[in-house]
Structure formats: structure tokens, C-alpha cells
A = this chain, B = another copy of it.
């Protein structure tokens, strides 16, 4: 069994931002020389999401509006009694999840035609890390 681990660092300009990181994940798999296996893509923060979906700017806007409607920024979360102001970012992270597994087949990411790996920042403007860990043979 082979494994390869890399860490991707992202610092966004805005509080909420959405980045297509598919090419970064593919590069780790290329470097790992893994033919059959899986690669885990997992945010190392509790106010971030990782998902697989479409790369289409209108849809990204729809997702952003939708997440804010289901897990809105508000002042009165109990978490804010600690001095934090980002409880909504935790809820958004729980809603979409913070990790995906991409299958590796014949040395490549085995994704469907429209599938792209996204990093979703819900509490940005500081450095965040994503672990990309490939395993297989």
C-alpha cells in the first residue's frame, strides 16, 4: 500500500468564498503514483466545507444564498457568549460536510463529467488548511 499526504493552504479575501480545488487534488494523486485507491480531501477547520458539485458561478451564488437561509448569521447564538461571532459558519459546515473521498481508478480521479471538488470557506480572511491524503497501490 502506498500513501501520500499534502496540505493545501487557502486564505480568502472575503468571509465566505468558494474555490474549485480539483486540480490540486489531481496533482497530489499524480505525485503519489497511485493507480487504484482513494483520496481523502478534508478541511482541517470547523468553519469550512468540502463538497463535490458543479463549477458554475450562478449555482455557486445559489448555494451561498441557500446556506445563509438555512444557517443564517445571527448575533444571538449561545456560541457567541465565548466572544466568537461565527456560529453560522459551524452550522454551514455541518450542513454540507467538511470532507469527500474521490476514487482513483487507472491513475486518475474517477469523477463524473461535471463533478468538481470545492473548498467552501465560511469564516475566512485567515489561513486555512485542507488535508489531501491518497491511499492505494
Residues on A lying within 8 angstroms of B by beta carbon are 1, 3, 5, 36-38, 40, 42-46, 51-54, 56, 58-59, 61-63, 66, 70-71, 77-82, 87, 90-91, 93-101, 103, 105, 110-112, 114-115, 129, 131, 133, 135-137
For A58, the chain B residues whose CB sits under 8 A away are 77-82
For A91, the chain B residues whose CB sits under 8 A away are 62-63, 66
Question: What are 20 of the A-B contact pairs (CB < 8 Å)?
Answer: A3-B137, A5-B103, A5-B105, A42-B101, A42-B103, A44-B115, A46-B54, A46-B112, A46-B114, A53-B93, A54-B90, A56-B79, A59-B78, A59-B79, A59-B87, A61-B78, A62-B87, A66-B71, A94-B95, A110-B133
Which label, helix, strand, loop or mixed, suits the secondary structure of the A interface?
Answer: mixed
Query: A5-B103, A44-B115 are known contacts. Are A90 and B53 too (CB-CB below 8 A)?
Result: yes
Verify B44–A3 contact, CB threshold 8 A. no
